[in-house]
Amino acid sequence: MQKEEEEDGKRGGIGNDNNRDKREKKKNKDEERERGLGMAQYAYLMHHKSETFDKFKEFRVEVKKQLGLSIKALQSGRGVEYLSDVFLGYLIENEILSQLTALSTPKQNCVAERRNLTLLDMCVELLKTDMLLAGMRANWYGLLGKKFKDTFGHVGGSSLGGLVGLRKPVNHAVPYSLTEEFTSVYQLHQLLPDSIHLRNINVAPGPSKFPPLLEEVPMPESIGHKGENTLSQIGFTRQLVSMGHQACGALELWNYPSWLRDLVAQDVDGKDRPDHVDLAALEIYRDRERKVARYNQFRRALLLIPISKWEDLTEDKNAIEVLKDVYGDDVEELDLMVGLMAEKKIKGFAISETAFIVFLLMATRRLEADRFFTSDFNEETYTKKGFEWVNTTESLKDVLDRHYPEIPKKWINSTSAFSVWDSPPNAPNPIPLYLRFPTS
């Protein structure tokens, strides 16, 4: 009996080895196939984001035809800017999961286009003065102006021709990067609301292209796992129109979003962490850990006058009382972020003077020190179409006009898409920008 069992065991062992070999071959074949699929690429040239839906349907048919596979999931950037309501409906109907990818570095022409928007559009709305607008345009186009630069190219140095298009980067002996101080002053979470005022876009717009309020969606339902489902149901067009008609918060004390003070953080695999985050406290902690100077020392480093008493910082008596409770009479202990929010604002400015100086320095640096705006600012780097886009895109409204022309036409009354959309457009000024008297 024992001998028979041994023989059976031997036979079983041989059979197992054969099965194992088959499994290994199948596994290797599957892995090779997966590697092949991972390397398969389909490239579609799209001039407008509105073409995405039709191109995806073409792509889906091609995948089925060439690989015999069905698409089960579609990943897109967190802005969901390529997914129209019709597109999302198609995905649901065909049981295709819509996923949002983690933040990553986009292609360089998109980076350039968005940075252009930030410098020439968003900053102008945060710092609403003719002088600031003139300075930002001079940074990009030079004192000779846009028309001259578009016609003759970059002529002269940075003053006449602007920083964009210089022959080589000017990095002041430091490879292109932005500073810890810039990170600190760019913490603008007070701009975020506690809820999104969702608008009804299925009715005709009211006066000033203003859509009626439909409902309020709390911000915690618009982020994380809940947010992916919520925003997919709302759809891109309604999201954009709703946010465009909602004013941002003021950069002041006591205006930090409450939901960011009890934030559910997630691991890289998307699982909720057990400990919630108070982001306001974390930002102060990070500044201290990075050894960013306290408010007064920060101003000294920028050659600005430091404060000697709390009344130099703000006229708000309640704020002064709380500052004394936290810091006593020692103004040198004041944390940078607290000081930036408490500081009196220059007329027309949404940010403090202290933050403005750093904004100004970095606005110049991120043009002059970046090869993609100097030595590599050309068609060879961006492609002909990409280079055209970067050179002709000056505002968020330009982007919307190109990809979603129906949105500005129907829903935007303001000159800039960074203004509240139902605000009146800027009055025309016949005086050339560089010749205007510097008033706010």
Catalytic residues: 186
Which residue type is seen at 105? T
Which candidate, 336, 361, 302, 288, places its Cα nearest to that of 135? 361
SS (HEC) of 13-47: HHHHHHHHHHHHHHHHHHHHHHHHHHHCCCCCCCC
Alpha-carbon distances of 343 from 127, 129, 304, 353, rounded to whole Å:
15, 19, 13, 8
* DSSP per-residue string spanning 382-428: H-HHHHHHHHH--SHHHHHHHH-THHHHHH--SSSTTS-TTSPPPPP
277 alpha carbon, distance to own chain's centre: 22
The closest of 165, 91, 75 to 367, measured between CA atoms, is 165
Contact 167, 374 (CB under 8 A): yes
Contact 166, 158 (CB under 8 A): yes
| Nearest CA-CA partner of 298 in 366, 364, 357 | 357
Residue 85's closest CA among 337, 406, 305? 406
Closest CA to 416 of 145, 167, 118, 194: 118
Which residues 6+ apart lie within 8 Å of 154 measured at CB? 142, 161, 162, 164, 165, 166
